[in-house]
Structure formats: structure tokens, C-alpha cells
Amino acid sequence: MGTETTPRPQKKDDDVVALRSGPFELDLRSGELRRAGSLQKLQPQPFKVLALLASRPGELVTREEIQGEVWPVGTFVDFEQSLNFCIRQIRAVLGDSALTPRYIETLPRRGYRWIAGPVEKVGAGPAILEWPRPAALARPAPLADLEGGSEPGPAPEPGPPAPGRGEARRLPLWPAAAAAALAVLAAALYLGFARRGGEATPSFHRITFRRGIVASARFAPDGQVVYSAAWEGDRPTFFSARPETRESRRIEVEGRSVVGISQQAEVAFLRGSTLARAPLAGGPPKEVLAGVRLADWTPDGSEFLVVRHGQGPGQIEFPIGTILGPATWPTHARISPDRRHVAFLEHPMWGDDRGSVAVLDRQGKKRTLSDGWASVEGLAWSPRSDEVWFTGTRVGADSALHAVSLDGRLRTVLPAMGRLILQDIAPDGRVLIERSALRSEIRFGRVGEPEERDLSWLDLSSLEDLSADGRTVLFMESGEGGGPDYTTFLRQTDGSLPVRLGTGRGVALSPDRRSVLSIPIRERDRIDVVPTGAGETRSIRHPGLTEYSWAGFVPPDGRTVAFTARDGEGRHRSYLQDLDGGAPRPVLPEGVYLGHHAFSPDGRLVAQECKGEGDEWRGVCIYPVEGGEPRRVPGVEKPVWVRGWDDAGRLFVTDKEKPMVAEVSRLDPRTGRLEPWRTVAPPDRAGVVGVHKLFVTPDGQAYAYSYMRELADLYVVTHAR
């Protein structure tokens, strides 16, 4: 790969006591970083990495050199994860960006370089200025790595694959990797809190040890933990565990997530979209309410908070039947211990974890306490009801634990140590937190070929479209690699390197593959039409429409764009818009929204779930685009997702009740006849949350899908303040 394989010792200069560059000064004796005289918080390991880079301005400092200087031989640590953690912390303190660096440049798979300008070496003698070498002398980076974010270039020379990409992690390495991750976690906690003086440092007690997903968890009144998990690719199951024994006991309750534990030793849970409750000791469950998307329970078991399906972006009800106020795609709603407020996370787009922290009081007054989070997931109240604790990050997917007061004062409780997800806080202050490794992956298959092809690129690769001939995929990166504004890529399904199209959320590829529809992440008041080759980007926007949530090309020629948008009064509606101009025209009845796979091959029909008043499954209906009464597809008794049309006018559908795999069938909309097509799922199902995007070509010869993989462990944390 052209990298230096033997660590080159850093030049030692005992007379140098500090390094200065611009407003920053590194005191090499005290290990402190100051900006314009103000002390900046930087832990010892990141400080060492920063000092090493700044002492050699303009030079490539290889990953091997950094490891040799900061983590010498004999140090037990996951080097790749630790180095990426250090670089993220350094960039956060410097206000730097991996995509547009001003201080530290990433040379993917090779190392890092200080590019901010001259560095002054301060010592007993005269100060010495060292200048960076001209960028022209540096070898160009061949390929983006996980931490970086550079654009793809020529293929790299043969070498080991980047962590997390290429070959899947081999199972025999799992115990060692888990031990290394635990060591990194402990070291990061010690360093992060060593400066707190006499205060007790946080203590982590791991209570799960298997490989898979933790869906939800709560403290029970007697101190045990009740959680739902899917281990080794199995279906979600309920367990109880006591931190002092580290042993889990299976609970005979069928459901997907825990929403509360009462003082009467009952567990409330969601089974599908039905809210139910059951004794922890065993016994038949009692159904409470159908059509529930989100719920919480008061400790005395007297009242529920719910968000129901079929209410647009969302309405918070507390108690059931009393609407406190609206919320935009809410998640993680929790009742304060004093019952005076409800806190929840709001998200601008369905399925995107970007969002903000908000509260509603019992009179329905809503306040946003903290916003601008690129990823936010997990929320709970402090025991005194004076703070909302949550886990989130401004960039990427690795999140820290934060607390925000009701007047908006924000503080960090635990730094980012991978992806942290807050599950619960006990009355005695113990914190139940999940630490997970998260990836989104893409696979492509062609009928008749023995194996699928992995088309994943960086850390959170989300499939957005597949060309009709099965040769091209459109995908988005929303994690560390995608950056704060996300990044859209186009890639050939033969596995060749992807082409970076730009920032934003690319949502659709035109039938001729010459343009892509993209919605900006921060300013969703327009749709950008981005050329895949040479050309200029143009935008679609209309007065009165304030936020676009989805867009797509109408077949067969793609000269018309369909989209779903919200107006100034908060109402969602789907529209059609000619690319040649003109006003948008509403399509479909209110409450029925367009999405991927909806249009028939000739663009005249739309297949969607039938509109109805209740929250129960209403079947599949065929809507004429030009207006008219919908026609219900006969014989569809169980809930299904519509995944597209084939050339013969049949629908590809999957079972909504089996999200872990996609059992694809062909559905004849005229007769209701259902015939199996194929089962789509990754070969390694451990930690797979579910197949959330699936595209099939109209000829039925090729398909692509993406899925989230999360490998999680639960910890009980004491002394977190």
C-alpha cells in the first residue's frame, strides 16, 4: 500500500515544553490544551496523538507510528477503535471536520497529517517555527477509511481490509474483540473522569454476554433488569437479570419491546402494535390497546402514555385518550417521575435518527430542550424530574450520554465510547445503558448466481434505489463516513468503486440513470435534481410547502416527479410535479402517502395500504393516479409491505410480521393469488435488526436490500452524574 511498516521514532527534544499553532497551545509538561488562553478538555491519549501530529507539521504520521508512540508494545487495547476515538475527540475540541479538514487530514488506511500551518516550538531557547510540507509532495489517498470521509479514488494496492468492511468478522475472534472493547471502555471511563477529584468515578457492570440485539430494557422495582433481546439471530425474547449474578433468566412473554415495569411486578410490552401487560412471575397477558406505535407506563401501573399508528407524524396521549399535543415522528417517550411532563425525541423524517429532545407539560405546552443532533436515541428522566438524560452525537453514530435541564442547560455525563443508548434510570440513580456496534449493510443478488454480493461501503450504507436493469444502486451514508450532512453515492452492482454524487439524502434514481433526486438534510424545503454525470443541479421548491420527506420518479419515462411534503399548517400530502415546470397537483386521498415501489410499470396505478379510520390492518388497495375510487386487492388477510411491481402487473410483497427476513411473494392484484418468490436475508443473522429496504427489478431477475446490524451489550452504571 506504500505505507511505512516500521515505526519511525518521534524526534525527542527535551528543551521543547509547548507547541503553538494559531490560537492553540499544547503544554507538553502538564498535558493541557488551551485555546486563546482558555483551557480545553482533552483526555491524555488524544492529547498524545495531537502532540505527535503537531510536532511534525505537514508530515504523514502513519498509524503504525502512532501506535508505537501512544500504545507501545504490550499495551492491551483495540488500537483501531482507540485511535478513531482519539481522532474524533481531537476534531471535536479543534472544531475540525473529517470531510473538510482545517487541522488534521486523514490519509485513508495510512495515517494522519497536521495541515493547519506553522507550529511554534516553545522552549528555554529561541522559539522554532516548523512549517508543513507542501501538499503536492504528499501521496494522494487511495480510499476512504472508516474514520475519514475522503472521496473514493483509484483502487488501493493489495493490503489488509479496513476494519468493519470487506470480510465479515470471524466468530472465533469474537471473545478477544469483546475483551478488547471492554478494556477500551474501562480505559476511556478512567481517563474521562480521573480529573473529578474526590468524586466517585462511574462503574460499569456488564450483564449481557451473548451476540445480538438488545431491543429495550427497564429497571424493575426490586433492582433486577428486564430486557428484550434477539440473540444469535433468534426472535426477540424477554429476559430478567440481576447485576450481582450476571445470569439471565428467560421470561415466558412474547413481545418485541419492554415499555414499563410496575410496582406490582407486571411488565408492559408491545407485541406487534398491541400494548399488553403480564405478570413477571408468569401468566397470561392482558391486551390493553391496539394500534400503538410507542408507549410508557407509570410505576404504579395506573396510566399509560401512547402514540398511535394512523395519526400522521404523531400525537402524544397521556393518559390514554387525552391528547397532550403533536410530535413529529416521536420515539423514546417517557413520563417524568413527578408526572408533570412528558419527554420524547422528535425526528424530522420517518426512519432517520437525526432529531431533538422535546417536552410537553400537562397543559400541552411544548418546548424543544436541545436540537441539532445528527443521531439521538435513548431517553430517560433523572430521579428528581429536573433533567432529561439522552444519548446522542452531533456527527456520525458514536454517541455520548448527555443531560439537559428543563431550561435548556446541556451537559455531558459520559463521553462517547462507541455507540451508547440510554435505556433507563433507576430511582437510586443507577443508569441502564447499552453499548453497541452499529452498521448498515447492502447486499445484491441475481437469480441463478450462487452468492450475493456485499455492496456496503462505509459504516452506515443505506440502499435508496435499484435501476430497472439491476446494474446500478443508489445509496446513502449517514454515519461517520457520511458526515453531518450525509453523502449520496452511485455504485455499479458488479462491485466497482462507488461515485460520490454529493451531500444530502439521495432518494431516487431516474429511469435513464442520468439524474438523482436528493433532499438536503438541514434545509428540507426543496428537492435537488442532481446529475449523475456532467451538468448542473437544479431544485424543486414551492411556496406553501415547507418540508419535503420523500421523492421519486414516476415511470416509465421519469419526466414526472412524485413527492410527499408538509405545508405551513403541518399537513402532509403527496403530489405530482412535471419536471418541465408547473404547479404541483395533489394525488391520492389525504392520509395515503406515496413511497418507494408504489407505481405500476406504466405509472397509472399506485399500490398502497388501504385508507381507513381504525388502526387495524386494512389491506392493500390499488389507487388510480388520475383519480377515482380505489380497488381493494382480494384475499390479503395478513399485513404486508408492498415492495414493487413486476412486468406482468403483479406485486412483490413481504410479511410485515417477519422483519428479520424478507419472505418475498408475488401477489396478483386482480385475483389475490399469492405465490412465494424467494427468501431474502443475510447469511449471518446475528444482530440483524431487520431488512428495511428491498428492491426487486421488474423482470424478477435481480434484487438488492439493506439491513441494520447491531451487536449490543447491557451495562448497569453506578456513580454517573
How many structural domains are present in the chain? Answer: 3
Return the CATH number at 125. Answer: 1.10.10.10
At 143-202, the pLDDT tens digits run 223 233 333 333 333 332 333 323 333 333 334 444 455 555 555 555 554 444 455 688
pLDDT at 657 over 90: no
Do 307 and 453 share a structural domain?
A: no
Res 616: pLDDT: 64
Query: What pLDDT, on a 0 to 100 scale, did the predictor assign at position 195?
Result: 43
Task: Look at residue 470 in the predicted model and tell me its pLDDT.
Answer: 96
The verdict on residue 3 lying in a domain is no
- Structural domain contains residue 676: yes
Same domain as 469, residue 388: no
Q: Is 267 helix (H, G, I), strand (E, B) or coil?
A: strand
At residue 76 the predicted structure's pLDDT band, cuts being 50, 70 and 90, is low
Same-domain pairing of 673 and 556: yes
Same domain? For 502 and 609 the reply is yes
Backbone angles phi and psi of 182, in degrees to 5:
-65, -40
Cβ atoms within 10 Å of 62's Cβ, excluding its own:
20
Q: Same structural domain for residues 489 and 620?
A: yes
- Tell me if 196 is assigned to some domain: no
Residue 445 sits in the same domain as residue 431: no
Is the pLDDT reported for residue 533 higher than 80?
yes
Residue 2 lies in a domain: no
Cell match 433468566: residue? 249
422 and 452 in a single domain? The answer is no
Angle ∠(565,353,192) on CA atoms, nearest 5: 150
Rounded to the nearest angstrom, the gap between the alpha carbon of residue 37 and the centroid of all alpha carbons in its chain is: 37
CB 518 within 8 A of CB 528: yes
CA 52 – CA 54 distance, rounded (Å): 6
Locate 188 and state its grid cell.
476511556
Rg of the Cα atoms in the chain: 27
Read off the pLDDT of residues 21-35 as tens digits, 9 standing for 90 and up.
877 888 888 888 987
Same domain, 499 and 637: yes
701 and 560 fall within a common domain? yes
Q: Is the pLDDT score of 680 beyond 80?
A: yes
User: What is the rounded distance in angstroms from the CA atom of residue 600 to the CA atom of residue 456?
Assistant: 29
* Residue 268 and residue 277 in contact, taking contact as beta carbons nearer than 8 Å: yes
Cell numbers at 140, concatenated: 494522494
- 612 and 466 in a common domain: yes
The pLDDT of residue 43 is: 86
Domain end marker among 136, 152, 168: 152
Asked if residues 252 and 239 have their Cβ atoms less than 8 Å apart, the reply is: no
Mean pLDDT across the chain, nearest whole number?
83
| 49 found inside a domain | yes
| Mean pLDDT to the nearest integer, 409-425 | 90
**Identity of residue 225:** V
% pLDDT > 70, the chain:
85
Q: Report how far residue 399's alpha carbon sits from residue 391's, in angstroms, rounded to the nearest whole number.
A: 6
Q: What's the rounded Cα separation, in Å, for the pair 448 and 467?
A: 19
166 belongs to a structural domain: no
Give the DSSP letter string of 384-445: TSSEEEEEEESSSS--EEEEEETT--EEEEE--SSEEEEEEE-TTS-EEEEEEEEEEEEEEE
Residue-wise pLDDT for 331-352, tens only, equals 999 999 999 999 999 998 777 8
Q: Would you say residue 69 has pLDDT above 70? A: yes
Helix axes 79-94, 63-70, angle to 10 degrees: 90
Which grid cell sits at 681? 436475508
Residue 140 is assigned to a structural domain of this protein: yes
Q: Specify the CATH number for the domain of residue 217.
A: 2.120.10.30
Domain of 287 in residue numbering reads as 204-437+712-718
Alpha carbons 231 and 566: distance in angstroms, whole number: 40
Q: Quick one: pLDDT at residue 17? A: 84
Determine contact, residues 289/274, Cβ cutoff 8 Å.
yes
Instruction: Say how many Å lie between the first and final Cα of the chain, rounded.
Output: 46
Does residue 412 sit in the same domain as residue 458?
no
Q: What is the pLDDT of residues 566-592, one digit of tens each?
A: 888 878 899 999 998 888 999 888 878
How far is Cα 326 from Cα 303, in angstroms, rounded to an integer? 19
- 486 and 626 housed in the same domain: yes
Farthest CA pair distance, the chain: 90
State the Cα–Cα distance between residues 493 and 102, nearest whole angstrom.
Answer: 35
Is 497 a domain residue? Answer: yes
